[in-house]
Amino acid sequence: LPVRSDFIDARNTPLPQGFNLLVTGGSLGAQILDDIVPAALVAMKNKKIFVTHQTRPENVERLQKFYADNNIRANVLSFIHDMAGAIAGSDLVIGRSGASTVVELQTIGRPAILVPLGINPDQAANASSFAKNGGGFAIEQSKFTTRWLTSTLSDLFDNPLRLEKMAQKAHVPN
């Protein structure tokens, strides 16, 4: 799959190790991510997390208010112009598992929690392959709950070495 040069330029960028989370549901956003991720972040004890959350235009204001009301540092936007920079600037990505997304994560080397679109068997296969290599988690949308995500994020951000190992396993040299 072709990869833009900005992703290749960001290859092997070290993890920022600053509790930076990128949430992206693709060009149309993903309502389940907009519902589950903010609730899980509120339930976590670690409020040092900075989240960049890409969502549908109609959800931007609601999510900005939610994060602000809950003292969670966040940048909520409907479109990310520099996706390579956003991925490289994150310690962990939560998103769908389209082919382009998975290849971009593998090129830069970022761990991820992938929630495939339930009606797309290709996304499920992409997520499963990524997780099998140790780069992250593939979780069915029906099992992607606030409780599961709170526990998983707490564990990952409490264990930066685990995130580092996942990043190494996520990276696929070109």
In a structure prediction context, what are the per-residue pLDDT tens digits for the chain, which is 174 residues long? 889 999 999 998 999 988 999 999 876 678 999 999 999 999 997 668 999 999 999 999 999 999 999 999 999 999 999 999 999 999 999 999 999 999 999 999 999 999 998 888 999 999 999 999 999 999 999 999 999 999 999 999 999 999 999 999 999 876
pLDDT per position as a tens digit, 95-106? 999 999 999 999
- With contact defined as beta carbons under 8 Å apart, do 73 and 107 qualify? no
The pLDDT assigned to 148 comes to: 98
